Amino acid sequence: MISVNPYDGQTIREYPDFTAEQTSAAVDSAEKAFFEWRGATLTERKVLNLKLRDLLEKKKDELARLMTLEMGKPIKQSCAELEKCGLALSYYSEKAELFLAPQMVETEAQKSYVRFDPLGLVLAVMPWNFPFWQVFRFSAPSVIAGNAALLKHASNVTGCALAIETLYREAGFPENIFRTLLIPGSNVLPLMDDQRIKAATLTGSEAAGVAIAEKAGRNLKKVVLELGGSDPFIVLGDADIAKAAAVAAKARTINNGQSCIAAKRFIVEQSVYDSFRNAFVDEMNKLKVGDPLSEETDVGPLAKREFLEELEQQVERSVKEGAIVLAGGKKPESDGWFYPPTVLGNVKPGNTAFEEEIFGPVAPLIMARDNDHAMKLANSSRFGLGGSIWTSDTQVAEKMAAELEVGTVFINGMVKSDPRLPFGGVKASGFGRELSYFGMREFVNVKTVVIE
């Protein structure tokens, strides 16, 4: 496994893969840690959770730099990501007792109740784009619920993966309650056959999700999938255009445009199309592209060279199919894997920029005749992760939200995850939920107890 700095293409460090024996030993040690951990009281778990939160804050600068070096995220966004992980740890420390408390149910029996017990070892297959947040939004609720965590992280953020394991150990958790597995992606599916692993969660591509789901089905294991997205950003005729355009630029380029819930299709009502287009192009042109370690940088490099090449090809195909470049559209001369904030006009259904997930700072503009046409365009995607609606009439927006085929809708705001709210998608964006009490209960045994 090789960690490479996307800013200059230089190798940071190489890590040897685990052997089959090392992998099995790691799984075995995590299982033994689980048998100890499940007997800990919630109070004991909460204390360690808060120690972990405090460690994250103490080491924030060091960890943020590591994150930025490994995957190119602007340093100010790396710091914000770590702060969000701390919020999740605080939230579950506060709410675990409420979420996991037995629920009494009135029946004819002397006593009936439902309890929530840990499942055991949960395998997390996580992506590189949010190296800490993706992991903690899974591990914070799962571990405090009594499970053990096995992490197969993306190979280009191996440093981050090992740092998270160290944080759990330094916070005082049982030695192997959180283990990072340094294995190639090809070894994940065979690992799903291991009966010591009770469940899995994956954030990644549609193809990876299908493969994991098939394996989970064959092994009758619980699985949660958060896959790709092509989130609609719907601007209606009565929207605040200046505000919508400013947020649109941020929503498209956050994390250098490499986010599943980034706005990816900008569907604008015909009556305000021109004014939004002009304002949006201005906002995209204002963004500073450069060294991600600089506090002034808004957009850094893409995480891998192949991602840059794929993005270039998608833009080229889109233009050949009729799209017009309104801003950006040409890779700068640089050793790093940069692509400028780009706006494509005249995008229609069937165009590459409409149909495919664009994982980079490229924004397709699509004109809608009216509200109904905007909804039809928004739902004309195999993805269904998130979406936002911009209008001064919130009643209209709430009606549209009910019809939007996504897992999360923001009205007059940018789509983002929050520990207090369930997060996940529908259609090809996956199934199951993370965060809130819905997320905590994905990886517990909902057990009925009846006393006659």
Q: Which residues are catalytic?
A: 226, 260
Q: Measure the CA–CA gap between 212 and 188, rounded to whole angstroms.
A: 8
Q: Measure the CA–CA gap between 147 and 149, rounded to whole angstroms.
A: 7
Residue 361 near residue 32 (C-beta atoms within 8 A):
no
Closest C-alpha to 163, from 255, 82, 48: 82
162: number of Cβ within 10 Å: 16
> Which residue is listed with tokens 């006009």?
345
Residue 223 near residue 374 (C-beta atoms within 8 A):
no
- Cα–Cα distances (Å) from 297 to 111, 361, 382, in that order, read 60, 14, 34
Q: Measure the CA–CA gap between 321 and 344, rounded to whole angstroms.
A: 12
What ranges in 171-304 are assigned the alpha helix state H?
Answer: 188-191, 206-218, 241-253, 273-286
3-state secondary structure at position 372: helix
- Cα–Cα distances (Å) from 84 to 156, 189, 437, in that order, read 22, 31, 17
Residue 116 near residue 447 (C-beta atoms within 8 A):
yes
Decide: residue 312, CB within 10 A, 0-12 exposed, 13-18 middle, 19+ buried.
middle
Q: Measure the CA–CA gap between 238 and 233, rounded to whole angstroms.
A: 15
3-state secondary structure at position 230: coil
- By residue count, the chain amounts to 452
List the strands of the sheet with 222-226, edge to edge: 178-180, 148-152, 121-125, 197-203, 222-226, 430-431
Strands (E), 177-289: 178-180, 197-203, 222-226, 231-235, 263-269
Q: Measure the CA–CA gap between 375 and 69, rounded to whole angstroms.
A: 40
Closest C-alpha to 232, from 372, 427, 430, 410: 410
Q: Measure the CA–CA gap between 179 and 71, rounded to whole angstroms.
A: 22
Q: Measure the CA–CA gap between 198 and 121, rounded to whole angstroms.
A: 6
